Amino acid sequence: MRVFVTGIGCVSGIGMDVGEHLRSFRSGRDGLGGITLFPTRHDLPVSEVKAGNGALAERLSLSASRTFSRTSLLGMLAAKEASGDAAIPDGSGVRIGLVSATSTGGMDLTERFYPLFREHPAHGRLRYAARHDAGDSTERIAAYLGITGFRTTVSTACSSAANAIMFAARLIRNGILDAALAGGTDALCRFTLNGFASLMILDKAPCRPFDDTRAGLNLGEGAGYLVLQSEAALTKPPYCELAGYANVNDAYHQTASSPNGAGAYRSMKACLEKAGVLPHEVDYINAHGTGTVNNDASESAAIRRLFAGGVPPFSSTKAFTGHTLGAAGGLEAVFSVLALSGGLLFPNKNFTTPAPPAGLIPVTRYAEGASIRTVLSNSFGFGGNDTSLLFRKTDRQP
């Protein structure tokens, strides 16, 4: 059974919807700036969504008296756009589910609860702690959109949203669902900022994926969702087909990728085999490309190995959005769909110097109208949890 993409939605530091993201890519405007969401001693660039929780709630027409984590609010915004874009008719009988991913969950609220609770057990709002669980954001998104069927949460670090999309496709292909809203959402919080700082992989300047001078990543926040539908459930022309997917685990290290890119290579290879696509048929790669010394060297080695006959155009969009962790695979899946539908090549911002030994040179200029029929999207997480998705152009009509 084939699976098609019929709706897309996203929010990040460079836009509140798909249209704003496209305008940011065209103009070369990234979302990086100082940290304003919470007090911190770290002076590091991050990519924050340019709206506070109150403004997000107002945009969603939510009551100011209700408590939502920032992760939930960002997820609702992107999921609402994707759902509206797909426009599945009410009463159509389509069995629709939600597969949502996150890493931080409701940590932003827990961080507000704990200091008061630590002073005295009677202090602090328990409603904040109740929103901590990763699955809470999934339930909030489902309730907001009226999805009462199958719902589940995926949390596999930076491959989370890509795994959510893969799992949703499997549910459709196995006849469990007719359609699924799938992707991920993550908000910036102290825990992730301090955690990545302790690993010493945050760059004090704008990140430079795949560049020889790269010194680390910039954190970001956001959400990205797709609506996937079976062929039989199509009610509008789809954007494209989700033709292949694969997840592997190289189990090399808790946080580092294997130096030879074994996991990344196996993930991409298995994904192409699932889709029945040969390496030379891939027209563009949306790379994981975090900007850390380890990740980019590992992914470069894997790309060079798989595409030995000629590396296709590739780039990382994280110099625009920052690394949005559990949401990254969802955002970049949206960008991959846009690349197919508009023949777009996104620039690998801030790149100047190829890094040996792979010496790969990514796309450095925004382009429209390119001949693109297949796009490979990579999302590689801590613990070696590596996932690749293959999107393919289609002329399928409902």
Is the N-terminal amide bond of 362 cis, ω within 30° of 0? no
Q: Pick the catalytic residue: 10, 132, 207, 323?
A: 323
Specify the residue for token string 């846009």: 338
To the query of whether residue 120 is one of the catalytic residues in this protein, the response is no
| Nearest by Cα to 349 from 291, 296, 295, 389 | 291
Q: How far is CA 56 from the centre of its chain?
A: 19
Task: Report yes or no: 159 and 381 within 8 Å, Cβ to Cβ.
Answer: yes
| Close Cβ partners of 122 (under 8 Å, ≥ 6 residues apart) | none
Helix axes 328-342, 18-27, angle to 10 degrees: 70
| Nearest by Cα to 37 from 76, 70, 74, 77 | 70
DSSP character string of 138-202: HHHHHHHHT--S-EEEE-BTBTHHHHHHHHHHHHHHTTS-SEEEEEEEE---HHHHHHHHHTT-B
Q: Pick the catalytic residue: 21, 132, 158, 271?
A: 158
To the query of whether residue 158 is one of the catalytic residues in this protein, the response is yes
Q: Pick the catalytic residue: 10, 132, 189, 288?
A: 288
Catalytic residues: 158, 288, 323
